[in-house]
Structure 1
């Protein structure tokens, strides 16, 4: 796995780390560092004294020696440097399932409560400050901890609502996936927007009147008077006890939000598919033979569904990214992995035909998937027919995209005679997808890869291939 491309920023700067003037993340080789200002270092000293850095939900962090590469990272010369544990693969909240976003929210609230007990606070409340190691959330923005100032409210409340509470409410209360909203704006859903999405009856739902309707009303009233709001809060005698009570109420509200995948064809695909027992057994063996033939640092399982082959790939890999367009099976897989305490398999809900692009400032603040680290091995099992027929992506373009990753490949091609392919073709007029033929696919595969081996499964309608990138 290669490190994210840093060529567009000086000194290996992380392009998504620029909003906090007290703290800036940068890279040197394979190491992750954070430069701190004088105030930032003082806040870190206070954090270090509390013991919160030993919490397993906080990214591993220790002090590092100064380096020559630090000049120019902050407005003033850095006062200190930290070294962080490296996250195997960066992911974003618009790629997470409902439970992943909810778990990240609860981790952030729990750490905020723990910090308040120690006289600290989190100045940010964004899910971008949380990353996943397998199914385990890690809080990564150490620079977000600062000393609590008397009379200040929860400064991250609005941000928490926009990026955590509202997306979760939207999906839990309305059944509307939050992903397009978070991908459409990296700042999230504003209170007025959320108010517009709720009905009159929704104001009687637990927590919605205060956090949505009243929040939107107050925001309209005081939008251009932030200084006045701050004065009123201090005048009202706002203190730490009130702040803790508010955070606890929010935690209780978030913990009660639930969403379950609908029972549908694709959610149950792992249990009701078109494989015979012999085909399923041989497919498992084929994937395992490749997965354990060498050590793989990073494997992508595209079209992972219930994660059966992600688990097999994990036998020979450091990290597996299990990607599927259907949030249902990914949600269920994440819950299983969380229960198992897995730290190898990262689950993501993403459509390969409409993948996460570069977003934010200069299109670099949030990276596209390949720009976060390319894989050593890709599993593309029972996925090409969905991409070709549901998204109308030409077969050659899909194969060329796989080749562009520079990874070895295990791919499965279901022929036109396969029951699942027939199901996808049934509503379409004759003559569509003329390129979806075994001979043409094999020609494209041989042009783009060095094919090592292939095997037709016993049913006769599916063929497996193992290929390496051309040298």
Structure 2
């Protein structure tokens, strides 16, 4: 199989590039993910290598890869494979005694890694449906997936892609889906929160990397809510079975299911039923004032035209951006503009309703170059999981060639009481060394700033001034261009940041 081209030529793994273990890949000792130079590699032990070769020779797997539903993967010849040591979550482990890996795969590189608690409801639902579609397709061919985690899915713009190729294994008759519990905890239960309780799931998933337990959900979905779609079977019955089998081994449970006549056909029917359920779990987060912000933010037509020209010139006047971060993207207007002049754009917005609407629009258009994410810059995703590094923080994943921060600074500095030097440092820190920042400063006398200041004590922001802002920008790089919009209360800057 050939790794799909994402706008960058696929390179052979370089033997001189020291492999670095991916901190999020350690729970399955049969296969580990490493980074070597620009390559994403997966090392397999003998059993996993045999499973991979059977998978690669199957009829269903190449079709799913060709359709873009599973990331492109190929096995490297032994001569082209770097020497990959055994690994721990923190890195290579010397003297572990583990034998050499039997095979090394190279994966297609995903443009930007995101986490499920940064997705909207519609994104999580589409990720769940992809999981189930892949499992439904694999079962008749004699394969299953060993886990069902939401973290097995990433995105090419608005299109989900399954990345955990090491999760596939031959199925044994009479065995249940090993990934069912993970699927419920990281995908199904968060969807139930929205569909049946009208609650945003993001804080729940961010709080626990393993997701929401059945016991927690059973406490939330009582009374008449027990009759809501999926609740009796996948919450209360699931919780009851877990309690009943708490003292039994997995092997005992498998034997019991085989003796009860659990077959591959029953497993397939279960997956189809779950697909039908997930499709019903509709939820549109309630609209907020941010939904219509582009209409109500007070720009004149001259301001809008000038701002678009300035941003376009900033994106086209220098080298093409590999990655653009549009911070405070709102409805994605400038993310779409940036996508015309960059390889990939990540549109960051704190409001789940706004992100959900943007995602649905991008999905309907088939867009693969703009990834919308739910993220509050005043409380961004921290590192999580084992030792705080299993899931990388947003700051660790940023590193954009161009950072757009349009109509954002006043919301952080005034609305969230973040000191102006901290705001500028945050925006500059989202860029890669030598990157650039396109930022808008809303003057204190602008109507939007006046509205925010009206809710604050007098004199609380004495340093929120244009001259102070420009001095801070100069401390992080060179202001190459500035434009005061016709209204006279907003100024745009293009800054070449220090390397």
Same fold, TM-score > 0.5, yes or no: yes
Residue in structure 2 matched with residue 447 of structure 1 by the alignment: 475
Within 5 Å, give how 1:253-292 maps onto structure 2: 253-292=277-316
SS at structure 2 position matched to 1:267: helix
Distance 1:260 1:77 in 2: 49
The answer to whether the 8 A contact 2:198-2:285 is kept is no
1:69 aligns with 2:83: yes
Equivalent of 1:411, from 439, 452, 462?
Answer: 439
Q: What's the secondary structure of 1:266's corresponding residue? A: helix
Whether 2:162 is the aligned partner of 1:151: answer: no
Q: Could you tell me which residue of structure 1 aligns to residue 194 of structure 2?
A: 171
The answer on 1:232 being equivalent to 2:256 is yes
Aligned-residue offset at 1:448: 2.0
- Deviation >4 Å, runs of 4+: none
The 5 A counterparts of 1:3-402 are: 11-51=19-59, 52-55=61-64, 56-66=68-78, 67-73=81-87, 75-227=98-250, 228-293=252-317, 294-402=319-427
Distance between the aligned counterparts of 1:402 and 1:456, measured in 2?
A: 20
Residue in 2 aligned with 1:7? none
Comparing 444-453 and 277-286, the one that deviates more: 444-453
SS of the equivalent of 1:81 reads strand
TM-score of the pair, normalised by structure 1: 0.95
Deviates more, 1:216-225 or 1:39-48: 216-225
- Three-state SS of the structure 1 residue aligned to 2:324 is strand
Deviations 1:134-192 (A, max 9, x none): 11111011011100011101111111110000001101211111111111101000000
Give 3-state SS (helix, strand or coil) of 2:493's partner. Answer: strand
Query: 3-state SS of the aligned residue for 2:155?
Result: strand
Structure 2: stretches of 5+ with no match in the other structure: 1-17, 88-95
1:102: Cα distance to partner? 0.6
Root-mean-square deviation over aligned CA pairs = 1.6
SS of residue matched to 1:268: helix
Superposition deviation, residue 273 in structure 1: 2.1
Secondary structure at 1:94's aligned position in 2? helix
CA–CA distance in 1 between the matches of 2:323 and 2:315? 11
Return the offset for 1:415: 1.1
- Choose 280-289 or 398-407, whichever is displaced more: 398-407
Structure 1 unaligned regions, length at least 5: 1-9
Give the equivalent residue in structure 2 for 1:4. none
Secondary structure (helix, strand or coil) at the match of 1:465 reads strand
Partner of 1:3: none
How far apart, CA to CA, are the structure 2 residues paired with 1:183 and 1:396? 28
Of the three residues 484, 490, 494, the one matched with 1:456 is 484
Distance 1:68 1:316 in 2: 35
Q: Aligned with 1:376: secondary structure?
A: strand
Count of residue pairs the alignment pairs up: 463
Cα separation, 2, equivalents of 1:150 and 1:142: 21
Q: Quote how far apart the aligned CAs of 1:88 are.
A: 0.9
